[in-house]
Structure 1
Amino acid sequence: MKLVYRVTPKQRLIIVEHALKQMQAFAQHRSGDREAGGVLLGRHLLDSRDVVVDEVSTPQSSDRRSRYGFFRSSKHELLARQRWLEENSTSAYLGLWHTHPEPDPTPSGVDLRDWQKAVAGDTYEGDRLFFPIVGTDCIRIWTLSRRGTYRELKLENKNAKI
């Protein structure tokens, strides 16, 4: 199973099952669960404009996690760089993901500032980064471009079960 989101009329974001399961494993279903997160890793397909998330980094011991907060440590950047080297420069940094302890997640002001900082300061291919938030009932994804265009992506395969 994979999730497919429409980015533009000619571009899709595809999250493969492995990456989806990695994120869902940290959904905050119980009251003691802490927020979790990491980076999205994948590729820009050469024969189309589609972007594929193949895997994600998962919480590291150096992260700061609480019920309503997550601070991603620099270890995630090191993991992304290591994967890029191992994959002969074909594994790309695509964005940031994290969890929220709510059924239908929405970004906080802290999230929006974090995303703006990533788009302005991080090194990445393409003109945008992606920002999934994993809730207890669904995953919602936003994108922010270098030009400052911000919007939520719509799930293309609406019958997909997560």
Structure 2
Amino acid sequence: MNLVYRVTPKQRLIIVEDALKQMEAFAQHWWSDREAGGVMMGRHLLDSHDIVVDEISTPQYTDRRSRFNFFRSRKHEQVARQRWLQEHNTSAYLGLWHTHPERDPTPSGVDRNDWQQAVACDTYEGDRLFFPIVGTHCIRVWTLSRRGALRELKLENTNAQK
């Protein structure tokens, strides 16, 4: 099942089942599980204004991972760029995802700084990026616009989460 989040009254963020399952596979259910993350790629739908996350990058061997920290290496950018080229310039960079060892995850100061850096420095379509955090029992998503407005998105299909 897809997860659907409300971005604006006319726009939704849709995380498709395959991408969702990949993110959930890295949820930190055990003390030995380390934080994981990557980039999200997908499409801006022209007919509905919706944004669809079709796929994600998964942890790379060059990442630094521990129980409470994750440092995303440049390898994720290479994965996203390669996918963009393979898809004939139609697979868009949509944001960054990562895990937290919390039932109901909340962003840390490091997370917020990372997101601000991504919005200010990364190349992307539209006026915002998306930032899911995968917890042990739910996935919460924030968006940050180029204007600096950070807010959490509301999940529309609540039966889709654990």
Structure 1 unaligned residues grouped into runs of 5+: none
Q: What is the CA–CA distance in structure 1 between the aligned matches of 2:161 and 2:103, rounded to whole Å?
A: 15
1:116 aligns with 2:116: yes
Q: What SS does structure 2 have at the residue aligned with 1:18?
A: helix
Counterpart for residue 77 of structure 1? 77
Cα distance in structure 2, aligned partners of 1:19 and 1:145: 23
Q: Post-superposition shift, 1:46?
A: 1.4
Q: CA deviation at 1:160?
A: 1.5
**TM-score, normalising length from structure 2?**
0.99
Q: Which residue of 2 aligns with 1:26?
A: 26
Matched position secondary structure for 1:119: helix
Deviant stretches of 4+, over 6 Å: none
SS in 1 for 2:111: helix
- Mapping of residues 13-162 of structure 1, within 5 Å: 13-162=13-162
> What SS does the corresponding residue of 1:26 show, helix, strand or coil?
coil
Q: Aligned equivalents of 2:88 and 2:139: distance in 1?
A: 31
RMSD: 0.6
- CA offset at residue 48 of structure 1? 1.5
Task: Give 1:161 shift.
Answer: 3.3
SS at match of 1:159: helix
Structure 1 Cα separation of the partners of residues 147 and 36 of structure 2? 28
Q: Secondary structure at the match of 2:82?
A: helix
Q: After superposition, give the CA deviation of every residue in 1:14-48 in whole Å (9 maximum; x if it has no partner).
A: 00000000100000000000000000000000112
Deviation at 1:159, TM superposition (A): 1.7
Which residue of the partner structure matches residue 4 of structure 1? 4
Aligned residues: 162
Secondary structure of the residue that 1:7 maps to in structure 2? strand
What are the Cα deviations for residues 95-145 of structure 1, in whole angstroms up to 9, with x where unaligned? 000000010000000000000000000000000000000000000000000
Between the aligned partners of 1:156 and 1:29, the Cα distance in structure 2 is 25
Deviation (angstroms), 1:158: 1.5
Q: TM-score, normalised by structure 1?
A: 0.99
Structure 2: distance between partners of 1:49 and 1:92 = 14
Report Cα offsets for 1:74-108 as digits up to 9, x if no partner: 00000000000000000000000000001000000
Distance 1:50 1:125 in 2: 13
1-side partners of 2:16 and 2:148: how far apart?
27
